[in-house]
Amino acid sequence: MSLLRMEGIHHAYRQGGLLARRRLPVLEAAALRIEAGECVALLGPTGSGKSTLGRLMLGLEAPDAGTVLFEGRPLRDARGRVAPADRRAIQAVFQDPFGATSPRLSAFAVMAEPLLAARLPREALRARVAGLMRAVGLDPAVMDRLAHRMSGGQLQRLCIARALAPGPRLVLLDEAVNSLDLETQARILALLARLRRETGVAYLFVTHDLRLVRGFAGRCYVMQDRRPVEVAEPFGDGPLPPAMAALRDAILPARPAWRPG
């Protein structure tokens, strides 16, 4: 049984407001699976439907048709609700850590929010937050500072710690390192890889940048014709789906063709 399985997904958005009749199809017969503990990359150009798949995976939206199964069970019940245990088990880290956190909250308050349900005594909660901060390479001494006083890289570490706080089994990383400089990107990817080894969490790593996938993701899909297509060897010499070839050409300098004479 897969950790997450999406099958026969169709999804469209209304164009031009609530009363408009025209609908833009974004996903058609889309399928994807994620096994426990694996890191799966979902690549594709902007507007190809990656984030839409991510929102369906979180249960934030229902597909027009098709099924989203988490641990073999439908993620949303007949009334569209996700069970609280599944909500904790599937977390997300997004591109912009400043947009994902309140400017009024301290680092402690950002981290404590997903832990409040456990009703820990204050000191135990502070100790748990300190432990999580250490796990993502942050100094717990900055716990009482405003989160928005941190650098982008530090705040993204905080968002990663917040996502891991409820002990999830699956984390959506939606362009989670794309807004960071190259060195910080490498550090955060190394941190995410270590946390996966230590906790057994699985990732869906959504990105439009093929370079970030190498050495990080075990399996790879690319959005092609409104559905994810699995690519066995994204860096091999074999034929690639056109969408993947385009992403690869965008980063590799074209090899000069050899011409006789």
Residues that bind ligand ATP (CB under 6 A): 13, 26, 44, 46-52, 208
The b/e string for 236-259 (b: 16+ C-beta within 10 A; e otherwise) is eeeebbebbeebbeeeeeeeeeee
The b/e string for 121-131 (b: 16+ C-beta within 10 A; e otherwise) is eeeebbebbbe
49 vs 234, which CB is nearer to ligand ATP?
Answer: 49
The position carrying tokens 């209304």 is: 14
**CB of 174 vs ligand ATP, minimal distance in Å:** 8
106 vs 179, which CB is nearer to ligand ATP?
Answer: 179
**CB of 253 vs ligand ATP, minimal distance in Å:** 24
Distance separating alpha carbons of residues 165 and 150, to the nearest angstrom = 19
**Nearest of 82, 84, 78, 140 to residue 112 by alpha carbon:** 140
**CB of 246 vs ligand ATP, minimal distance in Å:** 14
46 vs 239, which CB is nearer to ligand ATP?
Answer: 46
**CB of 134 vs ligand ATP, minimal distance in Å:** 32
Q: What is each CA distance from 124 to 7, 127, 141, 149, 252, in whole angstroms?
A: 42, 5, 16, 25, 51
Beta strands in 75-187 (DSSP E): 90-93, 170-174
150 vs 223, which CB is nearer to ligand ATP?
Answer: 223
Q: Which residues contact 165 (CB under 8 A, 6 or more apart)?
A: 111, 114, 115, 128, 132
46 vs 182, which CB is nearer to ligand ATP?
Answer: 46
**CB of 13 vs ligand ATP, minimal distance in Å:** 3
